[in-house]
Amino acid sequence: MDLSGWIDAFLDHLRVERALAANTLEAYARDLNRLAEHVGGDVDPNAIDAGHLGGLLAANVRSGFGARSSARQLSALRGFFRFLVRERQIKTDPTALVDRPRLARRLPKVLSFEDIERLLAAPDTTKPRGVRDAAMIHLMYASGLRVSELCALEVGDLDMKTGLVAALGKGHKRRIIPMGEVAMAHLTAYLRDVRPSQARPNETVLFVSPRGGRFSRQGFWKLLKRHARAAGITMPLSPHKLRHSFATHLLRGGADLRAVQAMLGHADLGTTEIYTRVAQDHVERAHARAHPRA
């Protein structure tokens, strides 16, 4: 089988065995197909060496690739060639000799406590749409859900007695997260007063659109931006900034890093550690403002 055939086999493996999301699979396909375009899709994978891969990364830089995009592509290439080693199609992994591009770690931008308070208070809870919006925003900030996880929640994923929500995350891994009393109160109002009149018959998804079906990620993005404007928040706001804010505010409040990792659903603790930097920056700024010798 040639290179293009093995790329298809690897993508099938990621789809079936690792259950990766469609967007992630598309990114893998783009990065691996660039390799096929660079060396030829009909070549034998055994003919590819570190020189070919270095040439590909250099060509990417000339065409405008940044370090982060190159690092992502190299990660896809490493996964692919390790797959070929496991399948005994090649003896050695050529990516082992390719250095990873150095990345400047960008700290995630987070909302202040004051901005969060204004955002949470923005929906008009005298109206059905406001009740739903408040429940969604409160739950997302209280539990650190990804927007895809929020929109995929079903009514049965909530345990209102214990105050826990079961989210289905990346790789179809389920995790249990506390919701907090305030978010529970908004969810109770939504489930009691709004959802019964809006959801289609036999609909199991938790948050429904005015048409009665599943609420989309794009729909949540739009409502979040609308309420951010109403709250006077000037920072560009995305659903993921709520997740960043959830993690950073927990750590500023003294939460254990491992507990935050579990709530976020991060496989690697190093991914969570970036939020400790943001929390520490907050402490350093407070010291600079308040200490007479700062």
| Structural tokens at position 157 | 């994923």
The question of whether 266 is a catalytic residue gets the answer yes
> Three-state SS for 41?
coil
List, in sequence order, every residue forming a beta bridge with 177; answer none if it has no partner.
165
> Three-state SS for 154?
strand
**287 pLDDT above the threshold of 50:** no
Q: What pLDDT score was predicted for residue 193?
A: 95
* 69-102: b (≥16 Cβ within 10 Å) or e: ebebbbebbbbbbebbeeeeebeebbbeebeebe
Domains of the chain: 3-97 (1.10.150.130), 113-290 (1.10.443.10)
Provide the whole-model pTM: 0.63
The question of whether 240 is a catalytic residue gets the answer yes
Sign, CA dihedral 10-15-20-26, equals: positive
For 159-164, what is the mean pLDDT? 93
For 84-107, what is the mean pLDDT? 78
The question of whether 141 is a catalytic residue gets the answer no
Point out the least confidently predicted range of 41-45, 147-151, 232-236, 255-259. Answer: 255-259
**3 pLDDT above the threshold of 50:** yes
Q: Which of 34, 227, 241, 266 is flagged as catalytic? A: 266
For 225-250, what is the mean pLDDT? 88
The question of whether 243 is a catalytic residue gets the answer yes
For 22-32, what is the mean pLDDT? 88
Edge-to-edge strand list for the sheet holding 174-178: 158-159, 164-168, 174-178
Q: Which of 18, 127, 240, 285 is flagged as catalytic? A: 240
pLDDT tens digits, residue range 257-275?
A: 788 777 887 777 766 666 6
Q: Which of 132, 195, 243, 249 is flagged as catalytic? A: 243
**73 pLDDT above the threshold of 70:** yes
List, in sequence order, every residue forming a beta bridge with 176; answer none if it has no partner.
166
Q: What pLDDT score was predicted for residue 160?
A: 93
Confidence of residue 283 (pLDDT cuts 50, 70, 90): very low
Q: What pLDDT score was predicted for residue 227?
A: 95
Q: Which of 146, 195, 227, 244 is flagged as catalytic? A: 146
**129 pLDDT above the threshold of 90:** yes
Q: What pLDDT score was predicted for residue 270?
A: 63
Confidence of residue 294 (pLDDT cuts 50, 70, 90): very low
Q: Which of 15, 170, 217, 282 is flagged as catalytic? A: 170
The question of whether 192 is a catalytic residue gets the answer no
Q: Is residue 11 within 8 Å of residue 30, measured between CB atoms?
A: no
The question of whether 127 is a catalytic residue gets the answer no
List, in sequence order, every residue forming a beta bridge with 158; answer none if it has no partner.
165
